[in-house]
Structure 1
């Protein structure tokens, strides 16, 4: 019988979830964490000034499960600030992320931690499936490369935020740039200046929700945000930004495969 990952990895996993007005989806997200086969985790839900029932839902779960706690920021600062507040509060060796409208499959943590042990990786991400706003399948999935370098990551963001885990024992706590968009991309670039590879686990372990009005759904806004990130945050300059935008545009057209 395969050895249980709960025995292999007694170390705590800290799961960071920023929340802003996602009450229709938050329960499904939290329930997917509770159902994990790897049980030694804490979930830090950061309420980023929600105006709907998100905070009430988060507090409800924190009362039901002592592994869940809520941090309230008081007003909306954006996902970069919110995720950093979670990282600061994290007590675990491993830091994982799940957005408040995405869903983990039950063996996500267990399989990913085993993969981290086998590869001795500092940063690991996984394949994922796309779902619609109502939770139905879009019949598309993304499978990451087995390894990517810092130079690869300058071209495009290969890492889905809700799929990623990093090991603070090996690289310390690393924080995101406090920007409202693409802060996770900035985090991966910061990490990868000091590590050789980010490793991709090819198994689809996350359901990534595409919502109307989201950045992923608004293509023109996405282009502007991506350009600003390359020039202002990654500091690639105009020519470097143009090269990266060309690759990113091509990658976006070919990224998703049909199930």
Structure 2
């Protein structure tokens, strides 16, 4: 039996500035049996020309929509890639990062050590935060969590470090997904894997994670000043809780109760139906029975406060 075929899925959008460095770092991987599938999401710069240049240099690089790309948005674009690619294992790439040479090999070795033929598995790693010039030495994740209930409220599995097996892909109902409920593709993949399989974490960086003004989703600022501002201005936290509620609604729509364990389904049910009957009294009960799961207890209390005091946020307008 040959070595597993790893598909690397890359969605680009106006990424000409850093894309050459990213693809070059993938070409330098110590594990060679990979294939890079690129879908452009309607770039207006020279991104497409950059892609064509690398396609001509290495047969493992494939541009799957050479014609003018339709702008689907980052989530839909990645799921379009995933739906139309068929390999043994799947990885995801942002257009502006830099892969360390053993990224594929290290992640694949962990995947192969698990029951990847029996259950859905998602492996993810830590990230090294760098500036636009790839300078920096701090790790992004100081703590990690893999349980469904914690992931429902805060995702720490970054797609650019992920590898999933075919059984995770098999869980995705591509024709049924309501993209209005899916904030990011990696969060959804981590959630469904945690619910029905296993999420595994490698506490080592496999990627240089660029932080700059163009990032679609970046690392959180953990400074004291930032935390104080967050407490005083809770708009972003109210949005994050709304995203979690949307995920729960989507899980409730797509999957049967029998697929979940009892405790996890209680969370899916309680939060997935909040759009129908959110109220102060009802949300107090939910906050007691199924409080938002956070790494820090004070943050849990803060989110219970938001759930109760801003109960009107979660009623869908007709």
TM range (shorter): 0.7 to 0.9
Distance verdict in 2 for CA 1:100–1:250, change over 3 Å: farther
Q: Which whole-Å CA distance do the structure 1 matches of 2:112 and 2:44 have between them?
A: 41
Indicate which of 94, 99, 102 corresponds to 1:104.
99
- Structure 1 counterpart of 2:195: 193
Where 1:193 maps in the other structure, the secondary structure is helix
1:98-134 Cα distance to aligned partner (Å, 9 max, x none): 1111121001111111112223352110111111233
Asked if structure 1 preserves the Cα contact closer than 8 Å seen for 2:98 and 2:207, the reply is yes
What RMSD in Å do the two structures reach over aligned CA positions?
A: 3.0
User: More strand by proportion, 1 or 2?
Assistant: 1
Question: Does residue 233 of structure 1 match 2:232?
Answer: no
Structure whose CA Rg is larger = 2
Q: Any stretches of 5+ residues in structure 1 without a counterpart?
A: 1-6, 252-259
**Structure 1's 182 and 171: CA in aligned 2 closer, same or farther, altered over 3 A?**
closer
Of stretches 242-251 and 64-73 in structure 1, the one that deviates more from structure 2 is: 242-251
1:114-193 to 2 correspondence within 5 Å?
114-120=109-115, 122-137=121-136, 139-142=138-141, 145=144, 148-168=146-166, 170-175=167-172, 178-179=179-180, 181-193=183-195
More helix by share: 2
1:1-259 correspondence to structure 2 within 5 Å: 10-72=3-65, 74-120=69-115, 122-137=121-136, 139-142=138-141, 145=144, 148-168=146-166, 170-175=167-172, 178-179=179-180, 181-195=183-197, 197-214=198-215, 215-216=217-218, 223=237, 225-235=239-249, 236=271, 237=274, 239=283, 243-244=291-292, 250=299
Residues 199 and 181 of structure 1: is their aligned pair in 2 closer, same or farther, counting only changes over 3 Å? same
Task: Provide the TM-score with structure 2 as the length reference.
Answer: 0.67
Moved more, 69-78 or 173-182: 173-182
SS at match of 1:129: strand
**CA spacing shift, 1:100–1:213, aligned 2, 3 Å:** closer
- Cα distance in 2 between the residues matched to 1:250 and 1:40: 43
* 121-130 vs 178-187, which moves further: 178-187
Q: Structure 2: any 5+ residue segments left out of the alignment?
A: 222-229, 250-270, 301-318
TM-score, length-normalised on structure 1? 0.80
Superposition deviation, residue 247 in structure 1: 5.3
Which structure exhibits the higher relative contact order, with contacts defined as CA atoms closer than 8 Å and separated by 6 or more residues? 1
